[in-house]
Structure 1
Amino acid sequence: MASPLTPFLAVREAAQRLQGNASDYEPLLDMARGKDFVLLGEATHGTAEFYRMRAQITQSLVRGQGFDAVAIEGDWPDAWRVNRYVQGEGNDSAEEALSDFERFPSWMWRNREFLAFIEWLRGHNAGLAPERRVGVYGLDLYSLYRSAEAVIRYLERADPLQAEAARQHYAALDHVRDPAAYGYQAATGLRAPARDGAIRQLLQLRTDEAAYISRNGLAAMDSHYFAERNATVVVNAEAYYREMFGRRISTWNLRDAHMAQTLSSLAAYRLRRGGSGRIVVWAHNSHLGDARATESQLRGEWNLGQLVRQQAGAPALLVGFTTYTGHVCAASEWDGDPEHKAVVPALHDSWEALFHSTGLDRFFLPLGPQASHPLFEVMLERAIGVLYLPRTERASHYFDASIAGQFDALFHVDETTALEPLQPGHPVPVLDSDRPD
């Protein structure tokens, strides 16, 4: 392996120091020209700078390059309420529009930074024709029961006979409101799986789409598409929760395949309604960086970034975000309260430590196939999700990665700050990194 100094010099040569103004994003915006998908990552789910920077980049892509959708690592029905708000529909305030994000970690989207972004987006959309308004959509599949209920509510208005059929199709989901409990019972034979009924309901909605829109006009396209994607969530979420206990298929692969399927469907939908179909994605680096350049490929795992590259090829741009130290909003256990936790300085043999050693503080680094060879070396990379466990830092938060194979470009912010959740009554104490988790 080459000397550690070699990637150090490669970063020093290629990195462009951020000046704290709009010109910081011009190199990335130039790279985005002609792309259909720009995927903006994050090394943590709880860093304020990552949200602000993604918002600024997205605003420039919307205003200057005609991107007309933002897809987030959030559940489809939860994000749809935000979509209605930014489209100028309904009577929600911005904070109310975020209130459907109830599942842990609600603070991932119910925070001040995302609130400010959707307020900007609603203002941008004001006065635009419906087909030109930018939408916000969820890519995730955890909303098994909420999505089933949304399908039934839609059909109660659109086709009451089909609403009753949907209740029958989803009957195997009844009586168990915990998706994990459903998955265990279905996988172990304690109850009949809901798979077949869920698939029949999805196929029926797809069959009826043309007739329904013909009867009700193009204005019905949005509501039918919302229902059809909810029906898709039910099919894929049912498989996801069942396979949590089946151990035959990677649930990670099921989840990211669903995200890729949703993204492709969303692009086609935006084109059908008269838009550009060009989408900005906000999700964690672990979903957006190409899994083939990380240790995940050794486990047979793929991710959204890999699938988008394979399916879209050149029209996709994958952008990572990293940090060395600071504070992060995260929990210490699943379903725990959000806390502001000190981020331990990155391990010495990591990409983040290398970036810190350059002394550049904040910088943009172009990567991808044109990057110099040392940036394709394999080093540790940090990933902090909804939990942060400093006591087990190496085991819990690091993986091997070739940074130039993983991303087309990267932003590094050496010291970052924590998100501010919009959750009255939930304490967010600042914790020292050496306290027990």
Structure 2
Amino acid sequence: MGRYGDEVTALAAPLAGPGDLDALLDRIGDARVVMLGEASHGTHEFYTWRAAISRRLIEEKGFSFVAVEGDWPDCDRVDRSVRCLADAPTDPRDALATFERWPTWMWANEEVVDFTRWLRAHNARVDEAARVGFHGLDVYSLWESLRAILTYLGEHEPEQVPAALAAYRCFQPYDEDGQQYALATRFVPTNCENAVIDLLVRLRERAATDGAGRFGAWQNAEVVAGAERYYRAMVRGGRESWNVRDRHMDATLDRLLDHRGPGAKAIVWAHNTHVGDARATDMADAGEVNIGQLARERHGPDQVVLVGFGTHRGTVVAGQAWGAPLEVMPVPPGRSYSLEDVLHDAAPPQALFIFPQGDRPDVLTHELDHRAIGVVYHPQQERRGNYVPTVLGDRYDAFCWIDHSHALRPLPIRPAEAAEAQTYPSGV
């Protein structure tokens, strides 16, 4: 057993079933935000354990919604289904099957189907006002959000359609290609920012006076504004596009909490690279922030619990390149002296770690490399990359360990043509 073996053994608790999560629920206590990470977007066990934790938080602690690293319009169809709305699919699988943006498997998979079916059944037993939502936090759905705004305004507020059409027509010449738009703004002095701001101001003012419909239109306008900033930052290069994206997700989470009212509580599902506090990694050296850090700063560390996930080896769903067909790929054993290597040597095959808040052992305070697999993945090259230097006890409050993991089960969907690539690390 290596240098940290005794410390790992002392911290680890076996993780065999939902009953083994009691210690985590005790640690969560009255926290308002719980973020559940993943070391990849394609691992069965990460999704099923996040679902198990979320079920207990919803049933036992009254959490209000699940917010995921997905697009608002796509997730809104799922939300309407799980909240049993009359015009929504009665089976959330049908809503998930409409996801077309690559990588579709992130949310269109059997693991999410199982959870959302459970969530719909749970919601059917409670009053409508208490039903638990399912929302997207991400920034990519510029054109989908514009179309959703036009549809809503055309049906409910036709006098507001001209402002939405002005924004839509500004983006129209770029053929729904964010990078084409961003490149154009580098060579001409005009962009669509003013049209977007005008639309956003109008919808923000009116959303304060009405319920879910106007809130959804407002949120779609925030997505359009965030996407416009994101694409311009991305084409300039550097890491600022990462910060635009995570600040948008943080602001969306805060709007959702406010919208649900006093006492609202949120569960977040996103990659470890977003969930784990960036200040405990080399992301801070690059000037990057993430939603885990921003949530701690916004709500206070006592109101936020960050849970990381990791695996030593197994299989995963990913692509060889952006837009490539999904594949089931091998996950090789964690490289020597990494966190994954340390936990493989000393932890049970499945384990839960709750980090003490006082004196901490070296494994929680020393910097160790921690694997991060994106939607674009090359197993044969991962020993030269895919690892984030991490102070584990500062990055997370707890950690779920799966020594041998397996690929998730994607729904049989053909994605639309891939457009924009996501920010570094690749596809997280």
Q: Normalised by the shorter chain, which TM-score bucket?
A: over 0.9
Matched, 1:417 2:406: yes
8 Å Cα contact 2:141/2:223 also seen in 1: yes
Matched, 1:77 2:73: yes
1:401 match = 390
Sort the Cα spacing of 1:208 and 1:48 in 2 relative to 1 into closer, same or farther, 3 A. same
Does the residue aligned with 1:170 lie in a helix, a strand or coil? helix
Moved more, 9-18 or 60-69: 9-18
Match of residue 37, structure 2, among 36, 41, 44:
41
8 Å Cα contact 1:267/1:277 also seen in 2: yes
Tell me the amino acid that sits aligned with residue 9 of structure 1.
D
CA distance in 2, matches of 1:74, 1:62: 20
CA distance in 2, matches of 1:74, 1:371: 37
Does the residue aligned with 1:380 lie in a helix, a strand or coil? strand
Q: Please state how far the C-alpha of 1:5 moved relative to its aligned partner.
A: 4.3
Tell me the amino acid that sits aligned with residue 62 of structure 1.
I
Match of residue 290, structure 1, among 267, 277, 300:
277
Structure 2: unaligned runs, 5 residues or longer: 416-428
Q: Please state how far the C-alpha of 1:387 moved relative to its aligned partner.
A: 1.5
Structure 1: unaligned runs, 5 residues or longer: 214-220, 427-437
8 Å Cα contact 1:198/1:235 also seen in 2: yes
TM norm structure 1: 0.91
Matched, 1:224 2:208: no
8 Å Cα contact 1:70/1:137 also seen in 2: yes
8 Å Cα contact 2:306/2:398 also seen in 1: yes
Q: Please state how far the C-alpha of 1:187 moved relative to its aligned partner.
A: 2.8
CA distance in 1, matches of 2:94, 2:308: 30
CA distance in 1, matches of 2:200, 2:123: 31
Matched, 1:315 2:303: yes
Matched, 1:109 2:107: yes
CA distance in 2, matches of 1:395, 1:301: 22
Q: Please state how far the C-alpha of 1:166 moved relative to its aligned partner.
A: 1.4
CA distance in 1, matches of 2:234, 2:356: 34
Moved more, 365-374 or 104-113: 365-374
TM norm structure 2: 0.92
Sort the Cα spacing of 1:409 and 1:371 in 2 relative to 1 into closer, same or farther, 3 A. farther
2:11 match = 14
2:181 match = 182
2:49 match = 53
Q: Please state how far the C-alpha of 1:289 moved relative to its aligned partner.
A: 0.2
CA distance in 2, matches of 1:407, 1:105: 26
8 Å Cα contact 1:66/1:278 also seen in 2: yes
Q: Please state how far the C-alpha of 1:391 moved relative to its aligned partner.
A: 2.2
Number of equivalenced pairs: 410
> 1:159-170 residue pairs with structure 2 within 5 A?
159-170=157-168
Moved more, 165-174 or 402-411: 165-174
CA distance in 2, matches of 1:371, 1:141: 39
Tell me the amino acid that sits aligned with residue 80 of structure 2.
R
Please give the per-residue CA displacement for 1:378-437, whole angstroms capped at 9, x wherever unaligned.
Answer: 0111000111211221333112111111000001010000011101579xxxxxxxxxxx
CA distance in 1, matches of 2:108, 2:219: 23
Matched, 1:340 2:328: yes
Q: How large is the Cα RMSD of the aligned pairs?
A: 1.7
Matched, 1:99 2:97: yes
Tell me the amino acid that sits aligned with residue 177 of structure 2.
D
1:265 match = 255
Tell me the amino acid that sits aligned with residue 297 of structure 1.
A
8 Å Cα contact 1:173/1:182 also seen in 2: yes
Tell me the amino acid that sits aligned with residue 400 of structure 1.
P
CA distance in 2, matches of 1:131, 1:7: 48
Q: Please state how far the C-alpha of 1:91 moved relative to its aligned partner.
A: 4.2
8 Å Cα contact 1:171/1:194 also seen in 2: no
Identity of aligned residues (%): 37
Match of residue 372, structure 2, among 359, 383, 403:
383
Does the residue aligned with 1:363 lie in a helix, a strand or coil? strand
Does the residue aligned with 1:295 lie in a helix, a strand or coil? coil
CA distance in 2, matches of 1:240, 1:83: 25
1:280 match = 267
Match of residue 58, structure 2, among 55, 62, 66:
62
Does the residue aligned with 1:175 lie in a helix, a strand or coil? helix
